[in-house]
């Protein structure tokens, strides 16, 4: 089967599952809700108005990760992968189609989330939103979409390696919500290279570490590429 029909088939799988569509909506709702709460709290000497407006991405990314994880994990249940590979025997082509079917809707949802969050956060911040310019706001909105897409694909790759959505989520969610912050407080600049901390530099007005907005996303992209390469190797080497 050619790539386009394979992509179409994978997209049908995603859009016919209500949980998947709900996951895309949860990216927007969770991000905006927590961003609104964070933007309302403007106390503290280290207040960053731009990151305050986009603080909810830390929670919205959980929905993006769950989306990527669920899309891949479904293939390892009930022999679904054998059916998929019977239709698309070229495993690399099938995996590429699966990843594209994950990335495109998450990117669309992520960009929408970024611009809605920028608008809502700016409205809640009021005059304090003057602390960041239009260029910074646009960069953060676009970066938000790219970051969420990369994290969703990272989760998809890890799920392919582990062949279990539960295992992937049990690693990623505690890591993002707990471990990353603990390591960040104890290890200095090394933690800046973790995928979430590096990618979220794009959401800050004035980054404190060695990474800039786009170099931070590049580091996250390297983590994602490594996870996807491992996932592709696992799919090629293991029986369906």
Domain ranges of the chain: 3-233
- Quick check: 97 pLDDT over 80? yes
Q: Given this model, what pLDDT does residue 139 score?
A: 94
Q: Given this model, what pLDDT does residue 16 score?
A: 83
* Contact status, residue 60 vs residue 113, Cβ threshold 8 Å: yes
- Quick check: 240 pLDDT over 60? no
Q: Given this model, what pLDDT does residue 191 score?
A: 76
Q: Given this model, what pLDDT does residue 217 score?
A: 96
- CA nearest 158: which of 69, 66, 95, 71? 69
Residue 134 CA to residue 128 CA, distance in Å, equals 13
Q: How confident is the model at residue 140 (pLDDT cuts 50, 70, 90)?
A: very high
Q: How many CB atoms lie within 10 A of CB 82?
A: 11
- CA nearest 220: which of 204, 236, 239, 197? 197
Q: Given this model, what pLDDT does residue 35 score?
A: 84
Query: What mean pLDDT comes out for the span 91-99?
Result: 92
Query: What mean pLDDT comes out for the span 29-37?
Result: 89
Residue 192 CA to residue 127 CA, distance in Å, equals 31
Alpha helices in the chain (DSSP H): 3-15, 18-40, 49-53, 57-73, 80-87, 91-125, 134-162, 165-174, 180-187, 195-199, 213-237
Q: In the block, which residue shows the tokens 């983590």?
A: 223
């Amino acid at each position: 089967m050619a790539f386009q029909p394979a992509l179409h088939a994978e997209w049908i799988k995603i859009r016919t599952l209500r949980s998947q569509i709900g996951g895309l909506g949860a990216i927007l709702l969770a991000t905006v809700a927590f961003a609104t709460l964070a933007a309302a709290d403007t106390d503290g000497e280290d207040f960053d108005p731009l990151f305050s407006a986009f603080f909810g991405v830390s929670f919205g990314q959980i929905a993006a990760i769950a989306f990527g994880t669920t899309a891949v994990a479904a293939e390892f249940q009930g022999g679904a992968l054998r059916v998929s590979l019977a239709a698309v025997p070229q495993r690399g082509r099938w995996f590429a189609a699966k990843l594209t079917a994950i990335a495109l809707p998450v990117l669309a949802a992520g960009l929408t989330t970024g611009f809605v969050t920028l608008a809502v956060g700016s409205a809640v911040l009021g005059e304090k939103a003057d602390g960041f310019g239009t260029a910074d706001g646009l960069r953060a909105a676009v970066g938000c979409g790219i970051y969420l897409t990369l994290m969703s694909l990272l989760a998809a790759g890890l799920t392919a390696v582990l062949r279990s959505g539960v295992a992937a989520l049990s690693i990623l969610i505690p890591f993002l919500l707990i471990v990353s912050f603990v390591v960040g407080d104890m290890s200095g600049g090394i933690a800046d290279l973790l995928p979430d901390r590096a990618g979220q530099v794009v959401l800050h007005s004035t980054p404190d570490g060695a990474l800039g907005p786009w170099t931070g996303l590049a580091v996250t992209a390297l983590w994602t590429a490594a996870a996807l390469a491992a996932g592709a190797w696992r799919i090629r080497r293991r029986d369906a």
